[in-house]
């Protein structure tokens, strides 16, 4: 019974290797998530917090693009654009 159950569960999973583009996008996504996680702690120190938010949002886009998670693509673009506007307001550009 145990062997039959294992064979059944294996039949439900498709094993495949990631393409180089998928591997690269996953690594960029992890880097972007790390930048986004440290950014709130860097906001009080001038422009560096906003810059790390922008970098993090841009680095996270390829991962969610490859996964076709379009809602997260929009969220990451929104993060990048929002903090570009934030930095422009902070520096008196607009």
pLDDT in tens, 36-69: 999 999 988 988 999 999 999 999 999 999 999 9
Contact 44, 70 (CB under 8 A): no
Within-domain flag for 43: yes
Within-domain flag for 57: yes
Within-domain flag for 73: yes
Within-domain flag for 35: yes
Within-domain flag for 38: yes
Q: 80 lies in which domain range?
A: 18-90
Task: Residue count of the chain, please give it.
Answer: 94
Within-domain flag for 27: yes
pLDDT in tens, 9-43: 888 888 888 889 999 999 999 999 999 999 999 98
Count of domains observed in the chain: 1
Work out the number of other CB atoms within 10 angstroms of the CB of residue 9: 9
CA distance 53 to 33: 9
CA distance 23 to 17: 10
Q: Is the pTM higher than 0.85?
A: no
Within-domain flag for 28: yes
- Cα 79 off chain centre by: 11
Within-domain flag for 61: yes
- Cα 86 off chain centre by: 20
């Amino acid at each position: 019974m145990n062997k039959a159950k294992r064979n059944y569960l294996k039949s439900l999973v498709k094993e495949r290797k990631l393409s180089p583009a998928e591997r690269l996008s996953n690594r960029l996504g992890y880097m972007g998530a790390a930048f986004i996680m440290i950014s709130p702690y860097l906001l009080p120190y001038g422009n560096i917090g906003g810059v790390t938010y922008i970098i993090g949002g841009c680095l996270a886009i390829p991962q969610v693009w490859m996964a076709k998670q379009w809602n997260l693509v929009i969220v990451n673009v929104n993060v990048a654009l929002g903090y570009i506007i934030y930095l422009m307001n902070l520096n008196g550009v607009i």
